[in-house]
A and B are shown apart, each in its own frame.
Chain A
Amino acid sequence: GAVVSQHPSRVICKSGTSVKIECRSLDFQATTMFWYRQFPKQSLMLMATSNEGSKATYEQGVEKDKFLINHASLTLSTLTVTSAHPEDSSFYICSAMLGGSSNQPQHFGDGTRLSIL
């Protein structure tokens, strides 16, 4: 149980393109999802917290107009990297949490490798 699916797994596109990444909780409802960014050989850096039915909460230094997050249902959150540039190339990972404020582990998708040419 607690499966999180992320799509696509890999994207290669030209500079200036906007890219949408989907994160789905397949067998549970997730009121909260998280989006992370990971550079090679580094840790996961929290970008934003996605709450169903409300605006996402962004971490300091993350541009909300650059990284658009939509969490329209209890099983789907999307991250759109707008007008992507080479410096946006990274591994983007989403996670979903079963509980709200209770102590439950996050369950992660398998990430999206974004390469901007």
Chain B
Amino acid sequence: GESVGLHLPTLSVQEGDNSIINCAYSNSASDYFIWYKQESGKGPQFIIDIRSNMDKRQGQRVTVLLNKTVKHLSLQIAATQPGDSAVYFCAEKGFNKFYFGSGTKLNVKP
């Protein structure tokens, strides 16, 4: 099967700092990637997506970078806020299914 993994299981940052969450994927044929945020007891919430024909996409305070050469995806959160504390998952689309990475817990310290 396909695998999507993360380099860091937990990340602690100071409020106001920038956060970078990384993800490695294994299927070079995957053409669509998504970052999700999951708060405790809730379903994942869409943050930002990127197609494989792009290497960067920006949203409000978030940027996703895609490096297809090394099959690496990252999520950058600018000026991290306490409300950003959650678990973040990357997801990779292959064969019309989505496969999720293991997740990174982001702790924002006030």
A34–B102 Cα gap in the complex (Å)?
Answer: 18
Judge whether A49 and B97 touch: CB under 8 Å.
Answer: yes
Interface SS of B by simple majority: strand
Flag if B102 contacts A43 (CB, 8 Å).
Answer: yes
| B84 at interface, CB cutoff 8 A | no
Which residue, of B45, B51, B99, B100, has the highest number of chain A Cβ atoms within 10 A?
B100
The answer to whether A34 and B98 have CB atoms under 8 Å apart is yes
Residues of A contacting B45 with CB < 8 Å?
A: 108
Q: Is B41 a contact partner of A111 (Cβ separation < 8 A)?
A: yes
B43–A32 touching, CB < 8 Å: no
Give the residues from 1 to 60 in chain A that come closer than 8 angstroms, CB to CB, to chain B.
4, 6, 32, 34, 36, 42-46, 49, 60
Bound together, the chains give a CA A93 to CA B44 distance in angstroms of 9
- Selected interface stretch from A71-79, A82-90, A98-106: A98-106
Q: How distant is B58 from chain A, measured CB to nearest CB, in Å? A: 16
Per-residue contact bits, chain B 84-110, to A (CB 8 Å; 1 contact, 0 not): 000001010100111111110000000
A113 to B31 alpha-carbon distance, docked (Å): 32
Query: In the docked arrangement, what's the CA distance between A111 and B40, Å?
Result: 11
Nearest Cβ in chain A — how far from B90, in angstroms? 10
Q: Which of A45, A46, A105, A109 contacts B43 (CB 8 A)?
A: A109
Contact B31 A103 (CB under 8 A): yes
**A64 contacts chain B at the CB level, 8 A cutoff:** no
Residue contacts A-B, CB under 8 angstroms, 30 given: A4-B43, A6-B43, A36-B100, A42-B102, A42-B103, A43-B89, A43-B100, A43-B102, A44-B100, A45-B100, A46-B98, A46-B99, A46-B100, A49-B97, A60-B1, A93-B43, A95-B43, A95-B44, A101-B96, A103-B31, A103-B32, A103-B93, A107-B46, A108-B43, A110-B41, A110-B43, A111-B41, A111-B42, A111-B43, A113-B41
Residues on B lying within 8 angstroms of A by beta carbon are: 1, 31-32, 34, 36, 41-46, 49, 51, 89, 91, 93, 96-103
A-B pairs, top 6 by smallest CB distance, nearest first, are: A108-B43, A103-B32, A44-B100, A110-B43, A43-B100, A105-B46
